[in-house]
Amino acid sequence: MFKRILIIFIIPLFFYGCGYSPLYSNKNNQNINIKILQTMGDQEINNHLLSNLSKYSRGQGKVFLLDIDTNYSILDKSKNLEGSISDYELLVVARFTVKNDNLNKIITIREDILMKNLSDNFEKKNYEKSIKKNFGKSITNKLILQLSSIQ
């Protein structure tokens, strides 16, 4: 009994004293200020990108002006013996034109996923919407990492 109590109190002290912190804990504290000039392409993905990038629009750091152009496509990947499609590939290509005081750079980020064909259209649309939302988060994270490396 005494050993259990001792372990419960000692282990947190080791973690507290070793300097452990999550890897991306300072990600939101970047000195980046993003201003969106225009968006083109898939409106749903653009909305996810804009909502994820909005937390970087009030920063006090280096100002980046962005033009966003997204291209979303659904490609047939495989068919079954009957000839109906069994797998789709969902593909997003996001192209960011980054402008700064002395910088004019194009950043292209590509995300794709293989999706099984679902018989229920409602379920398929909801799954596709959640994938688009995840694409928006992933593309935003990759963009912020590339912008922070520019500084």
Indicate the average pLDDT of the chain.
Answer: 84
- Whether the pLDDT of residue 72 is over 70: the answer is yes
Assess whether pLDDT exceeds 80 at residue 71: yes
Largest CA distance in the chain: 68
**Would you state the pLDDT for residue 137?**
94
pLDDT at 20: 58
The answer to whether residue 46 scores a pLDDT higher than 80 is: yes
Phi, psi (5° rounding) for residue 60? -105, 5
- Tell me what the mean pLDDT of segment 96-125 comes to: 89
Query: Which residue bears the tokens 């504290």?
Result: 29
- Nearest Cα neighbor of 66 from 102, 34, 93 is 34
pTM comes to 0.76
Q: CA 93, 94, 100 angle in degrees (round to 5)?
A: 150
Residues facing residue 78 across a β-bridge: 87
Q: What is the pLDDT of residue 119?
A: 83
- Taking residues 7-13, report their average pLDDT: 75
Cα–Cα distance measured from residue 76 to residue 73, given in angstroms and rounded to the nearest whole number: 10
